[in-house]
Amino acid sequence: MEYGSATARYFEALERAGELPNGLPGLVSGEAEDRTLHVWVRFQLQLQGGIVRLARFQVFGCPHTVAAASKVAEWLEGRSEADARALDARAVCAELGVPVEKLGKLLRIEDAVAACWSNGRDGNDKGR
């Protein structure tokens, strides 16, 4: 399988890969997986004043999944919570050229971000 230049760029950069420090104000986290697709994704977001200030991710999966998680993290930072909640990972990742058979993996990225909202905040969101 060949990968496009955008996929290569996000896979290489991984600028927002990692974790946010425990106890960070406004920290929310969520994860999702699909063992049959060999994909696991975790997102951590810092929400302050209704804005996603920071987004970090961890991911186990194929290059498209890794690049897509990286791209979604980039997209999330600076968005309002309302915009972020409306994440359409397939639209955000359109430029990555993810093949149709891998679209299910992008849904796990959406699920992980959605889990951030449903898991709620850790009670430290003093910035809102």
Partner 1 sequence: MSEEIYLDYAATSPVDPAVTAAMLECLQHEFGNPSSQHAAGWRARRLVEAARAAVAARVGAQPEQLLFTSGATEANNLALKGVLRRQRIARPHLVTSRIEHKSVLDAARALETEGVEVTYVETQADGSIDPLRVAAAIRAETALVSIMHVNNETGVIQDVGAIGALCRERGVPFHVDAAQSVGKLPLELAMAPIDLCSLTAHKLCGPKGVGALYVAPNTLLAAQLHGGEQERGLRAGTQATHQIVGMGRAYELADPQTEAPRLAGLRDRLWRELEAIPGVRQNGAPARRAAHLLNVTFPGVDGESLRFALGGVAVSAGSACAADSPEASHVLTGMGLSDTLASSSLRFSVGRFTTEAEVVRAGATVVGAVNRLRSVAKSAPAWCSGSGF
Tell me how far apart the alpha carbons of residues 30 and 111 are, in angstroms, rounded to a whole number. 8
**CB closer to partner 1, 20 vs 47:** 20
Contact 31/115 with Cβ under 8 angstroms? yes
| Pairwise CA distance, residues 50 & 91, whole Å | 23
Separation of alpha carbons 59 and 51, rounded Å: 23
Q: Give residues in contact with partner 1 (CB under 8 A).
A: 1, 3, 8, 11, 14, 17-19, 33, 35, 38, 40, 42, 58-63, 66, 101
CA distance 58 to 11: 12
What is the distance between the alpha carbons of residues 120 and 61, in angstroms, rounded to a whole number? 26
Q: Specify the residue, 43 or 75, whose C-beta has the smaller distance to partner 1.
A: 43
Using the minimum distance from each CB to partner 1, give the nearer residue, 22 or 126. Answer: 22
Q: Which residue's CB is nearer to partner 1, number 42 or number 71?
A: 42
